[in-house]
Amino acid sequence: MFGVRACSALWGSRTVSRVQLLRTLSGMTVAQVGLHSIVYTCTITDLFNPMFCFVMQIDEEVAKLLQLKAKLGGDDGKIQFVLKTPKGTRDYNPKQMAIREKVFNTIVHCFKRHGAETIDTPVFELKETLTGKYGEDSKLIYDLKDQGGELLSLRYDLTVPFARYLAMNKITNIKRYHIAKVYRRDNPAMTRGRYREFYQCDFDIAGQYDAMIPDAECLKIVYEILSELDLGDFRIKVNDRRILDGMFAVCGVPDDKFRTICSTVDKLDKMPWEEVKKEMVNEKGLSEEAADQIGEYVSMQGGMDLAERLLQDPKMSQSKQACAGLTDVKLLFSYLQLFQITDKVVFDLSLARGLDYYTGVIYEALLTQAGVAPVVAEAQNGAPGSTEESVSVGSVAGGGRYDGLVGMFDPKGRKVPCVGVSIGIERIFSIMEQKAEACAEKIRTTEVQIMVASAQKNLLEERLRLVTELWNAGIKVQCICIFNPKLLSQLQHCEESGIPLVAILGEQELKDGVVKLRVVATREEVDISRGELVEEIKKRTL
C-alpha cells in the first residue's frame, strides 16, 4: 500500500489502476503495477525510484497511443488487449497453409532436381554480422533489446547468414537452398504481398567454377519455377554490376557517386526516366550531360547481340570493367541457349539491383501479364503511394553474383565466389491465393481419407475402437469426439471438408462384423467386412 501512495505522488494527478502485491519471491516482496495494458513486476523499492516511475510513464503513453490507434474501445483503465498481429505481419490460416505447402513443394522439388542440399541458420545473428552489408537499407534491420549478453538483430535476408556460415565452417563449395523467414522494418504493402516478416526462398552456388555456368543454372531455376507455378508470362532481366560501373565511368560520373547514382537508376522500374534524371541532376548533383548519356544506355534492351554491339561501342569499350561484364553476358547467353530459356531472358542495362554486395551478373524476374491481381487491388484502394506501386510490375525473383561477401567474414579475407537467386515467395503466395479465390477452387486443408460415423446412440466406444484399428494401419481418419453426434452432421462435415469416405457403424454392422462404407460424392453405400476395410480404403483413396 505504501507503494501505491508513493507512486501516485510521483505521478502527480495520475492514478495507478492496479497495484497488486504479489508474493515473497526469494524473500523479496514483489508488486505488479499496471496502467492500461502494461503490467510491471517490480520490487517495492522500485516504486520509490523516480527513474522507474518515469520509464513506466513513458511506456504507458506509448501503450495508450497504440491502443487509441487500434480503436479498440474505451480507455477506462481496464486491461485491454489489442487483438492483432504486429504491423506488417500476418497469420496463415489452414487454407493459406495448404497453398503455401503446394508452392513450397514445387520449389523444393526444383531445387532438389538441381542437386541442392539445404541448411538452416538462426533467425537472429550477432548485430555486427549484419553491419555494413546492406548500405542505406540497414535502417530497416530489426534489433533485439539489450537484455544483457550479445547484441542481436533479426536476419534481413538469407544471403549474409549464408556467407557467415561458409566462412565460419570454412566451406568453399556448396550448392544449397534455404527457405526461411526474414525481417525488414519496411513500409508494408500487404495486399501486394509485401510484409515485414516474409519468407525468402534462396538457392545459391558457392565455389570456384568456370565462368557463367552456375550463373546460368540460377536463371534456369527461376525459369523452371515460374513456369511450373503457372503464374502467367514473365521476363528475366539480366545485367552486370561491372557494366553499370563501366557505364557510369564512361558517362563521366565521379567515382564516389557510383553507388548513389546506381540507387537512382534502380528506381527506373518505378518512375519514368524524366523523374530519375531529375533526381540525378537536382539531388545527386550530376551534370545534365552525364545524365543524358546514362539515359541513352539504360534504355537499351536485347540479348547476346546487344552485348556484342556494346563491346564495339566507342565509349563503352573504353572501360575494361564494362568489357569484362559484356564478355560474360555474351558467354551467359550461350549457356542460356543450351538450357533452352533465352525466350524469356532480356539483357537490360536499366537493371541495377540495390544491394551493395553484388559484384557481377545481376538479374530479376518480373511477371508481365497485365492485371496481376494484387497490384490492381492496391491501386484501387487509393492509399498514399499507391500510384507509384501500381506502376511497379511484379518482381518475383532476383539475385546475382557476390564474390566478395564471404571474404568479409573470413579472418584472412579468403574469398569464395558465390551466385544465387531469391524467389519472391510472398508475392507468389498472394497471387496464388487470389487465383484460388477467383476460380472458387475448393482447397482441402486436411488429407483425411475416411470419417468413422454412427447413426445410432451409445456407440462411441465402438467408433473409437474402429478409429484405433485404422490409425494403427496408417489410415487418415477423423471421428467426431462426442458421445452421440447426429449422422447428418457427420456427413455434412465430410462434404464441407472434402473427406471422400465414411465408415458407418450400427448394431447390425457390429453383429455382422462389417462396416457400411459410404462414398460421399455418389452416396453409394456398400458393406465391407472389418478385415478387408483397410485395403478397401487404400484402394479407393489412392
Please give the distance of CA 341 from its chain centroid, rounded to a whole number: 26
**Region binding a copy of itself by CB under 8 A among candidate stretches 89-97, 231-239, 304-312, 425-433:** 89-97
Near a copy of itself by CB under 8 A: residue from 15, 68, 75, 143: 143
Q: Is 357 in the site for a copy of itself (CB under 8 A)?
A: no
Q: Is 104 in the site for a copy of itself (CB under 8 A)?
A: no
Residues of span 6-65 touching a copy of itself by CB under 8 A: 23-27, 37-39, 41, 59, 62-63
Give the span between the Cα atoms of 173 and 457, in whole angstroms.
Answer: 65
Q: In what order do the strands lie in the sheet with 38-43?
A: 18-25, 28-35, 38-43
* Size of the chain in residues: 542
Q: How far lies 537's CA from each of 66, 490, 507, 511, in Å?
A: 54, 18, 22, 21
Residues 6 or more apart from 118 whose CB is under 8 A from it? 111, 176, 177, 178, 179
Q: Is 132 in the site for a copy of itself (CB under 8 A)?
A: yes
Look up residue 13 and give its DSSP letter: T
Near a copy of itself by CB under 8 A: residue from 5, 14, 309, 465: 465
**Region binding a copy of itself by CB under 8 A among candidate stretches 150-158, 269-277, 288-296, 314-322:** 150-158
Q: Is 200 annotated as a binding residue?
A: yes
Give the span between the Cα atoms of 46 and 324, in whole angstroms.
Answer: 66
Q: Is 157 annotated as a binding residue?
A: yes
Q: Is the distance from CB of 361 to CB of 401 less than 8 angstroms?
A: yes
Residues 6 or more apart from 516 whose CB is under 8 A from it? 503, 504, 505, 506, 509, 525, 526, 527
Report, in Å, the least distance between residue 367 CB and a copy of itself: 22
Q: Is 126 in the site for a copy of itself (CB under 8 A)?
A: yes
Counting residues that bind a copy of itself (by CB under 8 A) gives: 113
Residues of span 214-233 touching a copy of itself by CB under 8 A: 214, 217, 220, 224
Q: How far lies 513's CA from each of 396, 451, 504, 521, 537, in Å?
A: 57, 18, 12, 25, 17
- The residue ranges of DSSP E strands in 368-471, in sequence order, are 394-401, 418-423, 450-454
Report, in Å, the least distance between residue 379 CB and a copy of itself: 26
Q: Is 147 in the site for a copy of itself (CB under 8 A)?
A: yes
Near a copy of itself by CB under 8 A: residue from 12, 50, 149, 382: 149
Give the span between the Cα atoms of 377 and 434, in whole angstroms.
Answer: 10
Q: Is 264 in the site for a copy of itself (CB under 8 A)?
A: no
Near a copy of itself by CB under 8 A: residue from 388, 447, 495, 535: 447
Q: Is 82 in the site for a copy of itself (CB under 8 A)?
A: yes
Site string for a copy of itself, 152-191 (x = CB under 8 A): x-x---------xx-xxx----x-x----x-x-x------
Binding residues for L-histidine: 157-159, 184, 200, 204, 353, 357-358
